[in-house]
Amino acid sequence: MEAKKIDWKKAILAGIAGTILFDLMGLVAMGTWWDIPALLGEKTGLGLAYGVFGHFSNGILLAVLYAGIAPSLFGPNWLRPFIFITAQTIALVWFFMFPLVGAGVAGLNVGPDMAIGSLVRHWLYVVPFIFLINPTFQTKESTSKTAVA
């Protein structure tokens, strides 16, 4: 069986584009730009520059992880990123990050709309995945056939 390859450039671009969409939704919904990077910088004591770096690095990392597991997910190509990010948001944001920053499970200490707001932002984040990350990866064999043709 031929090894599957990740298109790293597309995965990184999808992560950056998705993170920008995530931040734009935060600006529209909450009226603040880079709320998450500011929180990261504040909680670590390393400042906004670190927060921005960490925030975009996380966005890129999630896109690369998705690119690696996308072929294993079920459903049509447009649905797979939403399945992935919904599971990630519930497991890692609602049950880990929110309690870590004092917002409680699913952000309920802040307000009942926190959980839905975070999920909507993450759904917007994965929209570029649909267009940039193809879950039917090319193998070396199919790539060489294309190059020959």
Does pLDDT of 119 surpass 50?
A: yes
Residue 146 in any domain: the answer is no
Measured CA distances, 139 to 21, 64, 65, 78, 133 (Å) = 31, 17, 18, 21, 15
Region 67-83: mean pLDDT is 91
Residue 43 in any domain: the answer is yes
Residue 28 in any domain: the answer is yes
Residue 145 in any domain: the answer is no
Region 115-135: mean pLDDT is 92
Extract the tokens encoding 145.
């056939």
Residue 141 in any domain: the answer is no
Q: What single string gives the DSSP state of each residue in the chain?
A: -PPB---HHHHHHHHHHHHHHHHHHHHHHHS-SSHHHHHHHHHHTSHHHHHHHHHHHHHHHHHHHHHHHGGGS-S-TTTHHHHHHHHHIIIIIIIIIHHHTTS-GGGTTT-THHHHHHHHHHHHHTHHHHHH--SSPPBHHHHHHHHH-
Residue 94 in any domain: the answer is yes
Region 43-72: mean pLDDT is 95
Predicted confidence at residue 108, as pLDDT, reads: 92
Question: 101 lies in which domain range?
Answer: 8-136
Residue 148 in any domain: the answer is no
Rounded to whole angstroms, the Cα distance separating 36 from 118 reads 11
pTM of the model: 0.84
Does pLDDT of 104 surpass 50?
A: yes
Q: Is residue 99 within 8 Å of residue 115, measured between CB atoms?
A: no
Lowest mean per-residue pLDDT among 45-49, 58-62, 85-89, 108-112: 108-112
Residue 143 in any domain: the answer is no
Residue among 60, 59, 42 nearest 51 (CA): 42
Number of domains the chain is built from: 1
**Given pLDDT bands bounded at 50, 70 and 90, which one contains residue 137?**
very low
Does pLDDT of 8 surpass 50?
A: yes
